[in-house]
Structure 1
Amino acid sequence: MFGLFKKKEKQEHKESKGLMARLKEGLTRTRSGFTGRLDQLLFGKKEISEDLLENLEEILFTSDLGVATTQELIRLVQEGVARKELDQPEKLRAALKEHIRGFLDVPDVADRKPNAGEPHVIMMIGVNGVGKTTTIGKLGHQLKSEGQSVMFVAADTFRAAAVEQLEIWAQRVGADLVKQKPGADPSAVVFDGLSSALAKHTDVVIIDTAGRLHTKSNLMEELEKIHRVAGRKLPGAPHDVWLVLDATTGQNAIAQAEIFHRVMGVTGIVLTKLDGTAKGGIVVGISHQLKIPIKFIGIGEKMDDLRPFDASDFVEAIFG
């Protein structure tokens, strides 16, 4: 992503086994709830019957893949059975793994690059309680570890505690912080932040916004205003709009994403709290239904437990 969140190939190669083990550990509940039940369904079966497909459909749906994604997977499986390609239950598992891997292969939906010498601006949005500010802190940590200069913009001016929390994260990871007094116009804070970032030649600006219900039109209009003001100060900004979703909310997360995307043009999704739920199938549902790339997943509380999303690694961790 334009030099952001670069992969350290040598380090990743050296630690790959440990990283995969941590990913598998973080997705234990999802693996047990999905592939654990799938393996129980297939055990001892000699043919792919209608009863088996009905039970498979129930497993997919209750794993929070969503109605549309579940129906598409069942359709693909039925086609494979009709063509005699899937003539044994053990082949069904491999076919599902391959189809799900394909659903997760979503290309970037935006290609807005900042001009040379200008910051890459990421606007973070989402409802209350999904972990936006913590996510921003962890993203800042990763960027700083790559040698990037980072600025946080505290555009959540409704809660003084939100600014204080972001300030703590800025101090912790070594990022600059632009803030104003509680109750200030969020757009004004963003304007000041981008002015400061341009003057300092900051590499990356991450804008924190107030949590808001996706059903409240006035609050969504405020997000649109922030977006417009950012673009007025720095043409092309924000270069990314990332939606933070709580994986434990399951299908409600897809409903949130649909509305936020319609209003804001979401370019990426950060899915938090995957370690605390068996609803990891939501990753597949979001990718397949909305065609928005998953950028990061949260699989724990540690600083490095916010992980860049890799479709192949995710599928391997789920299917084992």
Structure 2
Amino acid sequence: MFGFLKRGLDKTLEAIRSSKPADKKISKNALEEILLEADVDYEIVEEILYYLPPQDEVKKDDLKRILNTYFIYENVAQIKQDKPFVEIILGVNGAGKTTTIAKLANLYKNSNKSVILGACDTFRAGAIEQLRQWSIRLNVPIVATQQGHDPSAVAFDTISSAIAKNIDNVILDTAGRLQNQTNLANELSKIVRISQKAYENAPHRKILILDGTQGNAGLAQAKAFNDIVKLDGVIITKLDGTPKGGALFGVARDLELPILFIGVGEKMDDLIKFEPKEFVDTLVDEIYS
């Protein structure tokens, strides 16, 4: 897993390498430059420097201890592991939502779980067809309708089908953008409400897909989705293609939500569970290597 993560963070680690001083000792000024280069938010960099011991040289263990605190979440909802386990996937178009749904389905299948997909993004005909193609490739069932149909009805039918067929996991796609924010808010809220009518505890998880290449710029978008539908977690995509891996600290701090998985490549298996300690160790070890 460590090697997998290191490969996925290669561009971020490259940014760290390029901004490191020749001297193996890391001063606070040098650390500030390194963290900013990796797209750690400026305010968070200032916090990190503030909480470090007063001496100018930064010790490796002190830095690891402080960075790990950003991934300690308060009041994280306890997710009930029901069958079917229903997840609603949210995010703007282009964030890698549909591909991530496919990777999640593949992950569950590899764990001997049965999966059904729900094409609740009825705003774009292309989104329905794209998800249908993934269902064929992965050999998993899908509930889909025509463009313009009620997405909450698709959610209801997908969950009902999962109950009838004793399927383990339900993954519901949703529209990333409608004509305006109000339309999007109304649609997503209705999908959540109708899911609960289809199955009492559903949805069990509402997951936001964030494009890692956007770095901290994606945070405003994430907060908007969190305001519409109280999120349960985040998946960061495309981390292998960006030097902005440090933005994960901002996601964890500002959203106070667990990062569940990270996308570190284009292959089906390139979705890995996010382990905060491994992430911090990988970054800090690079700084001190």
Fold similarity call, TM over 0.5 = yes
Question: Conserved in 1, the CA contact under 8 Å of 2:68 and 2:277?
Answer: yes
2:47 to 55, 60, 72: 72
1:40 to 17, 21, 29: 21
CA displacement, residues 98-139 of structure 1 (integer Å, 9 cap, x when unaligned)? 211221233672224255xx3110000001100111000011
Larger Rg: 1
Superposed displacement of residue 59, structure 1: 3.8
Change (3 A) 1:45 1:239: closer
Question: Distance in 2 between the 1:205 and 1:121 partners?
Answer: 5
Aligned residues: 285
Q: Could you say which residue in structure 1 is the equivalent of 2:80?
A: 113
Superposed displacement of residue 44, structure 1: 5.9
Superposed displacement of residue 61, structure 1: 3.5
Question: Distance in 1 between the 2:195 and 2:65 partners?
Answer: 41
Given residue 219 of structure 2, which amino acid in structure 1 is its aligned partner?
Answer: I
SS, match of residue 269 in structure 2: helix
Q: Does 1:31 align with 2:13?
A: yes
- Structure 2 counterparts to residues 1-320 of structure 1, below 5 A: 19-34=1-16, 36-37=18-19, 39-40=20-21, 43=23, 48=27, 52-53=28-29, 56-77=31-52, 80-81=53-54, 87=55, 89=57, 91=59, 93-106=60-73, 109-113=76-80, 115=82, 118-212=83-177, 216-320=181-285
SS, match of residue 271 in structure 1: strand
Given residue 12 of structure 2, which amino acid in structure 1 is its aligned partner?
Answer: T
Change (3 A) 1:120 1:45: closer
CA displacement, residues 4-63 of structure 1 (integer Å, 9 cap, x when unaligned)? xxxxxxxxxxxxxxx3223212211111223652x317x2659x5xxx43x543443443
Question: Distance in 1 between the 2:178 and 2:238 partners?
Answer: 19
Given residue 286 of structure 1, which amino acid in structure 2 is its aligned partner?
Answer: V
Question: Conserved in 1, the CA contact under 8 Å of 2:11 and 2:242?
Answer: yes
Superposed displacement of residue 260, structure 1: 1.1
Superposed displacement of residue 248, structure 1: 0.7
Question: Conserved in 2, the CA contact under 8 Å of 1:274 and 1:299?
Answer: yes
Given residue 32 of structure 1, which amino acid in structure 2 is its aligned partner?
Answer: E
Superposed displacement of residue 160, structure 1: 1.8
Given residue 154 of structure 1, which amino acid in structure 2 is its aligned partner?
Answer: A
CA displacement, residues 270-299 of structure 1 (integer Å, 9 cap, x when unaligned)? 000001111001111111222110001011
Given residue 100 of structure 1, which amino acid in structure 2 is its aligned partner?
Answer: L
User: Percent of counterpart pairs with the same letter?
Assistant: 41
Question: Distance in 2 between the 1:97 and 1:127 partners?
Answer: 33
Question: Distance in 2 between the 1:147 and 1:56 partners?
Answer: 45
Superposed displacement of residue 88, structure 1: 6.0
Q: Could you say which residue in structure 2 is the equivalent of 1:11?
A: none
Given residue 45 of structure 2, which amino acid in structure 1 is its aligned partner?
Answer: T
Question: Distance in 1 between the 2:195 and 2:16 partners?
Answer: 42
Change (3 A) 1:111 1:66: same
SS, match of residue 21 in structure 2: helix
Superposed displacement of residue 188, structure 1: 0.9
SS, match of residue 242 in structure 1: strand
- Given the two structures, how large is their TM-score scaled by the length of structure 2? 0.91
Question: Conserved in 1, the CA contact under 8 Å of 2:63 and 2:284?
Answer: no
Question: Distance in 2 between the 1:58 and 1:251 partners?
Answer: 17
After superposition, the CA RMSD in angstroms is: 2.2
Question: Distance in 2 between the 1:214 and 1:312 partners?
Answer: 41
Question: Distance in 1 between the 2:4 and 2:136 partners?
Answer: 27
Question: Distance in 2 between the 1:104 and 1:213 partners?
Answer: 32
SS, match of residue 43 in structure 2: helix
Superposed displacement of residue 245, structure 1: 0.3
Superposed displacement of residue 169, structure 1: 1.3
The runs of at least 4 aligned residues of structure 1 exceeding 4 Å deviation read: none
Superposed displacement of residue 67, structure 1: 3.5
